[in-house]
Every structure is written in structure tokens, then in C-alpha cells.
Structure 1
């Protein structure tokens, strides 16, 4: 009798142990939903990262194209003064007269003609053109930049009685390929020409092609 009780007790312990082993310790479906949410979140982040990468690649390509365009665009820049073996002047003239700055200091691209005093735009683009002028000996000085046959900007220095009078002006110009720019001295005025310091100059350069 005692042996049967021992066997029954043992079976109960075994059965009880199996029941504990087979009993689920977590909800599998709930954990699957959590894992699915994590995967979806990672998928969205990956998609956003891919979109950002595509945008960055597009920007890099655009910058490369801009750099290439700049490197291939013509280099245009000039500065010219006027030749003289001694301090002198040009003018006054009975009518407005084109000034020829025949002393070339810089002429990258060879777009400035020192024989005619004309700058010719080699390509359509935005250019900056400026000038400086010295009246020096107390005479009136009037200067203008001309775009083709049209006056663009000007400066005028009235005889002040002082020894050194200076004028300067400049402008940004949109020029078509082949358009010309030059300087003119106003009627009955003069401009001082020195042999050494280049007080009076005509300058221009290409900012960017369009």
C-alpha cells in the first residue's frame, strides 16, 4: 500500500511538472505585432534615408555642372590707361569724343581693342565696367560709359579751383555677344594723362555668362 502511494505521488509530480513546462510564459501574437511595428518603423526610416541620399546626389550633380560651366566659360578682364611720355591731357574737343585708352595693363581674353578704345563682349553675359578720371589742373571733366550708341552712366567734375579733381563710376551691364562698350569725353572738358601713375583708367570684366 505504501508503495502504491509513492507511485501515485511520483506521477502527480511528473504530471504537474509537464503542465508547468507546457504553459505559455508570453503572448506570441502580441510579440509578433510589436516586432512588425519595429520592422515597419525601420522600413520608413530606410525609405527616408534613401530619399535624402537621392536628393544629395542630385545637389552634388548640379554643383558639378555649375563648376564645369564656370571652368569652361571664357575668362574676360581688362584694364587700360593712356600712353604719354609726360604729364599732359586729352581734350578739350569741340564735340563729345570717344576716348582711346591705348595703354593696356591687362587684357585677358583680348576683348578690349587698344586701337579703337572699344570693348566687345565675346559672349552673352553680365559684365562689370568702370572708369576713373583725373582733371588735375582745375579743368572741367565729364566722362560717360556708352553701351553701343547709348549713354549708360556718367560723371562730371566742375572746375573747383583745386589742383586734384577725380571722378569715377561703374555699372553692371547685360551684354549680348558682340555688343560694344566704350568711353566718351564730354564736350569742352579734358582729362589728365600722366606718364607714370595711370590715374585715368577704363576697366571691365565678365561676372558670369548667361
Structure 2
């Protein structure tokens, strides 16, 4: 900017001292310089806007990385323990189903002793179960959120050799809320000692 001002001052002094025909057709140098100055100022403004946007994007990326690092890792899968092929049930009343063979328990939110998952943080979680049973009895299974039945599956004694059922659900939980499975009255579920046909699974999708 100072160089432009010095140039303009020198040019005006020269022009006042003598008549100089710099070029034809006549060009107003001062006007052209003002145009260039306006262009430079416009580009500078755009550059500053881009820098500001880049700073905001960097801040956003940093915050997302922090959320990923700080977000708890929660996931489990459990089956049922047995030394031989057997079954759980039938019972005369609806019974909490304990998946005591814990296969995965990242974050230790699931208890293989009680069969209860306790949400460690406010968030959205996904749960799924699978059940296998012989056809001698019906098989009814439900996921409970606290004391409320959330989703269920029911397999009637169809006469086939094996019955299978599964279901899943997305739940919004507050820290401390619990989720567990129940076996319906007068039904049963197969427990194998090797293949883990009947399972209970859950994991945190994201915190809220």
C-alpha cells in the first residue's frame, strides 16, 4: 500500500512539472491503480474468509476426535453354560434368563451372574438375541427394559425337529437403566455345550 502511494505521488509530481504523453489512447493510471487495489482488497477478504472457515473445520475435527476417544466402548455377547446339551425351562412362571457364558464384555456393563445389562452412560444402544429349542415345548423370549417388555419372539411347537427365533431392538437408555431377557411361562430354550445357539448381545451405538 505504501509503495502504491509513493508511486502515485511521484507520478503526480512528474506530470505537474511537464507535459508527458505516456501512451495513447490516454489512460488514467490512477484509476487503474484504484481498480487493482480494489481487486487486491477483495482477494484479501476472500482469503481471510477461507482462513476463518478452515479454522472452524479444524476445531470441528478436533472435537469429533475427542468425542471418539472419550466415548466409552460398550459391547457384549453371552450364551449359556452347560456341560451337556440341555435346556432351560419350562417354568411355572415367567423367569429371568441368565446368559452366564460371557463371550465378550467390553466395558463390563453386562453381568453373567445376574443376566442384567446396566447402561454405563446416557446413549442409544442396540440389543439382539437368538433362541433355539426342540419342538417338545413352545419357546417364548422377551427383552425387558427395566420392568417393561420391549420386544419378543414366540415359536409354537411346530412339530419340526428344531425351532429358532430371534429379535432385536434399539433402545435409548439413561445411565443406570437395565436390560435383561425373560423366558415365557411353560416354554424352554436349548442350551448346548459347544456351539452357542442361544445368545444375548448388545452394544452402544452412540452417547447422547
Tell me if TM exceeds 0.5: yes
Task: Indicate conservation of the 8 Å contact 1:87/1:195, yes or no.
Answer: yes
Aligned counterparts of 1:118 and 1:44: Cα–Cα separation in 2: 64
Matched residues in 2 for 1:138 and 1:163: separation?
9
Where does the alignment leave 5 or more consecutive residues of structure 2 unmatched? Answer: 1-17
How far off is 1:33 after superposition? 1.2
Tell me the residue number matched to 1:147. 145
Alignment gaps of 5+ in structure 1:
1-20
Q: Runs ≥4 in structure 1, deviation > 4 angstroms?
A: none
**Following the alignment from structure 2 to structure 1, what is the Cα–Cα distance between the partners of residues 136 and 53?**
63
Counterpart of 2:21 (choices 15, 24, 31) is 24
2:135–2:158 contact (8 Å) kept in structure 1? no
- Of 65, 68, 83, 2:66 maps to 68
TM-score of the pair, normalised by structure 1: 0.85
Equivalent residue for 1:120? 118
Report the Cα offset of residue 53 of structure 1.
1.8
Summarize deviations over 1:19-70 as a string: whole Å, max 9, x none: xx95413345x22212211221221122112112211211221121111122
TM-score (norm 2): 0.86
Q: Quote the RMSD (CA, aligned, Å).
A: 1.5
Greater C-alpha radius of gyration: 1
Distance in 2, matches of 1:23 and 1:33, equals 18
Q: CA deviation at 1:138?
A: 4.8
Aligned length: 189
Cα distance per residue 1:136-179 (max 9 Å; x no partner):
34531111110000011111111221112211111111110000
The 8 Å contact of residues 138 and 165 in structure 1, kept in 2 or not, is answered as: no
CA separation of 1:34 and 1:161: change in aligned 2, threshold 3 A: same
